[in-house]
Structure 1
Amino acid sequence: MSRTVETDVCIIGGGPAGLILGMMLAKAGVRVSVLESQHDFHREYRGEVLQPRFLQLMEELGLRSYIESLPSSKVRSGAFYYKEKRLAEFQFDRFSEEIPYALWVPQPILLGALYEKTRELPSFDLLFQASVTGLLQEEERVCGVRVDTPDGELTVRAKVTVGADGRFSAVRRLGGFEMEYENHSGDLIWFSVPQPADWGEGLRIKLTDGHPMIILPKYPDLLQVGLAVPPGEWRAIKSRGVDAFRRELLGAHPAFQSFAEELHDFKPFVLLQAKTFFVREWARDGCLLIGDAAHCASPIGAVGVSLSAATAAAAADVIYGALQDGDVSAARLGLVQERRSGEMRSVHRIQERGAKVLFASTSFVRSLAPVIISLGGRLNLVSRLQRRILLQPEPLGVHPRFRFDA
């Protein structure tokens, strides 16, 4: 059975960017419909680190204490190692005395908490198992979407349609948006192991004679490990068999021993491509891309969610004003890109520099990596670069209409 609904803003994607945008607009009284293709908020190995810049935004929205009350663990420090030798270290309180940590919040918990804040708002609606199959257009203006649901086809007519549906965005594909650049530096192979009792609240980036790895404490009692491999190498690793890979893990870190000894196949591993890309124009008449749909960040620095949230906040302000003025043109919606593109390009450049070290494909570059990091630590370059991506350079200036304590 086919049916039609009308709304002010239709947001495709119920991840952090989509929910934050929907939450802010609904708080300001805008009618919002969020469409999520999955049947719930479950996410695995995606966007669970909330950097200080995310908590800065939550502070502006009046939601910081609410987010920090969620089940979570704190990451207060980090260190770079070559084998067992510490090359450099950093403390989050050196970046920010007000927010001296990152939070590890499982994404299902975060999304559920954001949803709870919006469910009490009468102008907000969320529909699960809603897959976009097409864009509605009147002449050159996007005016909604066609959606496949378990109950049949749904047509959502909207004044503004927002693609917040991630790096594989259907809205971006259906709308014919073009990439300005795209870089695939390498892949992170994620897996989790039990956390040793004496691990503490720090992350570690470890260089070895094999593959570098990122190790983070994961709520509630695990370590999440990302093994860094050059593009395409994971296929070669699997072709050599699990026994060879088991030997590498056994020699990489004592915390991996039980996991590696019980490893019989490659099912426990999840591959995440370390890509950065930037869409040339984020807006069309009646349509806007935000978050990873517009400016995908690589996993380096674990800032993807935080950056997408900042873009969502900028989009809420622009869309609210556009609706008030009756102007949802590409030029007006494109103000989001004007506000956010400079920082996104800067973060991408920093991530690409880090990727050259982390995903080095030659033994010569790998041999230089410990020297580069050790020198960068002594000269304070590592901390300066981290400060640039982990902290919001200045307040976003959230209007009181979007605040939850106003």
Structure 2
Amino acid sequence: MTEPESAEDAYDVVIAGGGLAGSAAAILLARRGARVALLERRSDPDAYKVLCTHSLQACAYPVLDELGLVPALEKAGAVPNRARWWTRWGWIEPHASAAGAELPYAYNIRRSTLDPLIRSRAAKTPGVDLLLGHQVTGLLREAERTVGVRVSTPEGEREIRARLVVGADGKNSAVAKFAGVRAQVHENARFGYLAHFRDLPLPDGISHAWFLEPDTAYAFPNDDGVTVVAVLPDKKRLPAFREDLEGSFLELVRGLPEAPPVDSAERVSKIVGTVDYPLITRESTAPGIALIGDAALTGDPLWGVGCGWALQSAQWLTEAVASAATGRGDLDGSLADYARTHRRRLRGHQMLSVDFAKAAVPFNPVQRLMFAAAARDEAMARHMYLFASRLIGPLRFLNPVALAKAAAVNLRHRGAPAPHAAARRTS
């Protein structure tokens, strides 16, 4: 391909989006010798994503470790995200086995803390140029291939050329749109609102989620003593929420089993949310282009997987293209490798999420089988935890042995009332 003409505007990689995925990719690629332009449309270096679960699943821990962020996260007050989940069969409470190692975890941390932290780390990485106030307005194309971007900056229009353009610009990705990457859009039959509360006690200080069938909710303790409380109700409840957002939000939370005591806590944010958050699946590559994070695949916020997948996709991309992006290999072949990894690791998860999101009805038979068994059996609870943390995929989660064990557990408990959580913990 044609090399960039201006040394000032010549990069190996240009990344659109200076959030979690983009900053992680910039750090990892630069460490492997790439010269990276990291573009962030907002001019404030402390800008952050507001609408988020503010949780990094355990699947992301190896990436955080590679980035060197674990000590900084813990210093910033990030909370290990162990969890328990309420179902009609009782609480699912994963614990390590008596002879086993501690269950894997990552962290809950507010994006107001996380985003500036990782963006600052990217800006300090040799080989990364963080360009604030730079918004992509188009792509540079040569022979059906993307070779750079056009951007709007505080100083005017600019062209930046690179071997590889990375779209890390979210679910409404401008890079994907300008490249003509088609999207599969899947309806989400739930809407969501969240708020932050200070000094909100939770049992054991761990994350809680409620599966009310079809409504769902969660409470995630975060840094600085702040807990994120979210509700994701069936869209049939939307008219009532629109009439009285605060009243409807608090009413749903107060009605949760073992509800968090929001009335005695201090609410430190507005109630924010969205009434339409579809799941979006795109091809993760095109000639000269790679998509990471929500730009490639936007999951259901119910499961809190977006941050983890943003970090993982940045790592997968780096592992596939780092050499080729610096002119030492076949870029098209490397992009194909990344696309295969992305599909293999995430499409199965997305398919299950799409099925759950489009039908706001009680659990289907397989879901009932697995959730009921996880509430009744410690080994099945651990199995559920590994899947919910995205440490195992759907094929392993629903393998014949696991399904048979779940059936045996439920048969053994047929007709028995759901055990009380405290009784299980002390038994």
* TMscore range, shorter length: 0.7 to 0.9
Structure 2 residue 64 is the aligned partner of structure 1 residue 58: yes
Q: Answer yes or no: is the 8 Å Cα contact 1:10–1:144 preserved in 2.
A: yes
Cα offset for 1:50? 1.6
In the TM superposition, residue 196 of structure 1 has moved relative to its aligned partner by 3.1
CA distance 1:125–1:174, change in 2 (3 Å): same
Alignment correspondent of 2:331: 328
1:205, 1:213 within 8 Å by CA — same for their partners in 2? yes
The CA deviation at 1:293 is: 0.6
Query: Is residue 2:366 matched to residue 1:360?
Result: no
Residue range with higher mean Cα deviation, 23-32 or 382-391: 382-391
Q: Is the 8 A contact 1:322 1:333 kept in 2?
A: no
- Per-residue deviation, 1:163: 0.4
Structure 2 gap ranges (5+): 1-5, 394-427
CA distance in structure 2 between the partners assigned to 1:93 and 1:51 by the alignment: 20
Q: Counterpart of 2:376?
A: 378
Q: Is contact 2:19–2:48 with CA below 8 Å preserved after alignment?
A: no
* Superposition deviation, residue 240 in structure 1: 6.1
Q: Secondary structure at the match of 1:91?
A: coil
- Percent sequence identity over aligned pairs: 24
Q: Do the aligned partners of 1:350 and 1:385 also contact (CA within 8 Å) in 2? A: no
Q: Which residues in structure 2 correspond to 1:93-172 (within 5 Å)?
A: 97=101, 100-172=104-176
Divergent runs of 4+, >6 A = 368-372
Q: Please point out which of 16, 19, 30 is paired with 1:15.
A: 19
Take 2:174 and 2:74, find their aligned partners in 1: how far apart are those partners? 33
Counterpart secondary structure, 2:59: helix
The reply on whether 1:296 has 2:264 as its aligned counterpart is no
| Deviation for aligned residue 1:288 | 1.2
Cα 1:58–1:278 change in 2 (3 A) is same
- Larger strand fraction of residues: 1
Query: Partners in 1 of 2:235 and 2:229 — Cα distance?
Result: 18
Partner SS, residue 148 of structure 1: strand
Whole-angstrom CA distance in 1 between matches of 2:285 and 2:213: 45
With 20-29 and 248-257 compared, the bigger mean Cα shift is at 248-257
Tell whether the 8 Å contact from 1:142 to 1:286 is kept in structure 2 after alignment. yes
Query: Superposition RMSD on alpha carbons, in Å?
Result: 3.6
Distance, in Å, in 1 between the alignment partners of 2:260 and 2:73 is 34
Structure 1 residue 219, shift from structure 2 partner: 2.2
> How far does residue 250 in structure 1 lie from its aligned partner after superposition?
4.5
Change (3 A) 1:47 1:146: farther
Once the 2 structures are TM-superposed, how far is the Cα of residue 184 of structure 1 from its aligned partner?
2.1
Deviation at residue 63 of structure 1 after TM alignment: 4.5
Change (3 A) 1:108 1:29: farther
Give the aligned partner of residue 402 of structure 1.
none
| Structure 1 position 70 matched with structure 2 position 76 | yes
Asked if the contact 1:51–1:306 (Cα under 8 Å) also holds between the matched residues in 2, the reply is yes
Which amino acid is 1:386 matched to? Y
Q: Is the 8 A contact 1:76 1:92 kept in 2?
A: no
CA contact (8 A) 2:213 2:363 kept: no
1:344 aligns to 2:350 (yes or no) = no
Which residue identity does 1:42 align to in structure 2? Y
Structure 1 distance, partners of 2:54, 2:139, is 31
**Does 1:38 pair with 2:42?**
yes
**Deviation of 1:12 (Å):** 0.3
- Deviation of 1:33 after TM superposition, in Å, equals 0.4
2:48 equivalent to 1:49: no
Where 2:279 maps in the other structure, the secondary structure is strand
Once the two structures are superposed, residues 158-202 of structure 1 have per-residue CA deviations (whole angstroms, 9 ceiling, x without a partner) of 111110111111111111001245342422211223333464322
80 and 243 in structure 1: CA distance in 2 versus 1, 3 angstrom threshold: closer
Alpha-carbon deviation of 1:15? 1.3
Name the residue aligned to 2:420: none
Confirm or deny: 8 A CA contact 1:81 1:204 kept in the other structure: no
Q: Which runs of 5+ in 1 are unaligned?
A: 395-406
- Residue pair 2:21, 2:292 contacting (<8 A) in 1 also: yes
Report which stretch shifted further, 68-77 or 203-212.
203-212
Please state how far the C-alpha of 1:86 moved relative to its aligned partner.
Answer: 3.7
